[in-house]
Amino acid sequence: MTLICGAGAFGTALAVTLARSGPVTLWARDAGYAAEMRAARENARRLPGIALSDQITVIGGDIPDGDAPCLLAVPMQTLGGLLAAHHAALDARPLVACCKGMDLATGLGPTGLIAQGCAKATPAILTGPSFARDIALGLPTALTLACADAATGARLQARLGSHDLRLYRSTDTIGAELGGALKNVIAIGCGAVMGAGLGESARAALMTRGFAEMDRFALAVGAQPDTLAGLSGFGDLVLTCTSGQSRNTRFGHSLGRGEAFDPAITVEGAATARAVADRARALGLDMPITQAIAALVTGELRVAQAVDMLLSRPLKEE
C-alpha cells in the first residue's frame, strides 16, 4: 500500500494515478475534510470532477505507522511542522517530498528538512513539470525522482512510476529540489511581466536570464552541473512560466496588474523568493532578478521600479 500525506490537489492527483496499480491511503490533516472526501468520493475543493476509486482510502487523524514509502504532498512552509508532529510515524521509512521551495525559517529545501526532522528516514524528492489535473487525468507526464541512496531511488522509481507517469532517477537531491524551488520565483516575475503588459519578448528574456541565476545559485550550494538542465529545472521552468494554470504565474500576473490575489491559494514562490534572496546575499552571489522579485513580493518595489532597476544595470557579456 502507498501512503500519501496531504490531500491537496497534487496529493489527490498522485493518489488517483497510483491507485490504478494498487491500494492507496490518502491522509488529510483535517479529519472533517477527510470525511467530506470519503462521502463525496472526490476532492471537490481542490480537484473537482475527478472521482476517487475504491482503491483510495481517505483518512484523517494520526498517520499510520509502517515502513512503506510515504509521499509528503504538503506545502513547503508546513512540511517542517508535519515532520515534527508525526515524527514517530514518519521516521525510519523512505520519505518522498512532493513540494517545491525553501523553508523560510531554516533556508532548507524539502530533503534537508526531512533529514533534520526525521534522521532515520531516507529523503527523496519527486519534482518536475506537472500539473495535478494532468496527472489525475492520466495525461503523459515525466518527473524527476531524486534520492541520494541510489538503491532506494531505484526501488521508488519502480514502485511509483507508471505508463503515464514516467520517472527519471537522479541522486542529486540538491539540484532537483532547487530546480523546483527556484523556477517558482522566476514564474512570479514572468507573470508580473505579462500582467504589466511588457510583452512575450520580455518574458522570454526574463526566463533566460532567470535560468542563469537558478544555475548560478544551484552550483554554489553543491548541485551537479547538469541537473538544472533537466526536467526538475529547465523543464519545470518552461511549464510554470508559460501556463495560466501555474499559481505562481497567476500571482505574478496580479502583481503586474496591481490587483489583489486570493490569500487562500498557496504560492510557494513568494516565500522562496525571500529565502533565496537572503541566502544569495549571504553567499555573495549576484542575483538581481531574484532580488527584484523578492522586493516585488514584499511590496518594496513596484513592477515599473523593478524593470527600471534591471534595465539600468551595466552592459555585460552573456
Helix (H) or strand (E) holding 234: none
Report the C-alpha gap between 35 and 21 in whole angstroms. 24
3-state secondary structure of 248: helix
Query: Does the pLDDT of residue 32 top 90, yes or no?
Result: yes
Tell me which H or E stretch contains 143: strand 141-147
Residue 162 DSSP label: -
107 vs 273, more confident = 273
Q: What angle do CA 138, 9, 74 make, to 5 degrees?
A: 125
Centroid of chain to Cα 290: 17
Q: Quick one: pLDDT at residue 133?
A: 97
Sorting pLDDT into bands at 50, 70 and 90, what band is 107?
Answer: confident
Q: What's the pTM value of the predicted model, to 2 decimals?
A: 0.94
In the predicted structure, residue 108 carries a pLDDT above the cut 90: yes
Q: Is the pLDDT of residue 296 over 90?
A: yes
> Which residues is 4 bridged to in the sheet?
26, 71
Q: What pLDDT score was predicted for residue 239? A: 97
Q: How many residues does the chain have?
A: 318
| Domains observed in the chain | 2-171 (3.40.50.720), 175-311 (1.10.1040.10)
Average pLDDT, integer, range 194-205: 96
- Cell reading at 267: 504560492
- Compute the mean pLDDT over every residue in the chain, rounded to the nearest whole number: 96
β-pair type (141-147, 2-5): unpaired
At 314 the pLDDT is 84
Task: Dig out the grid coordinates for 48 from the structure.
Answer: 473537482
Q: Is the pLDDT of residue 282 over 90?
A: yes
Cβ-in-10-Å burial (0-12, 13-18, 19+) of 205 comes to: middle
Which of 102-106, 153-157, 184-188 has the weakest average pLDDT? 102-106
- Phi and psi based region of residue 25 (left: phi greater than 0; alpha: psi -120 to 50; beta: remaining): beta
Instruction: Check whether 259 has a pLDDT greater than 90.
Output: yes
Q: How far is CA 176 from CA 37, 134, 267, in A?
A: 32, 21, 19
> What is the average per-residue pLDDT within 163-169?
96
Give 205-242 pLDDT, tens digit per residue.
999 999 999 999 999 999 998 999 999 999 999 999 99
* pLDDT band for position 312 (cuts 50, 70, 90): confident
What is the predicted pLDDT for the residue at 193? 95
For residue 237, the 8-state DSSP code is H
Active site residue 120: no
Burial of 123 from C-beta contacts in 10 A (0-12 / 13-18 / 19+): buried
pLDDT of 313 > 90? The answer is no
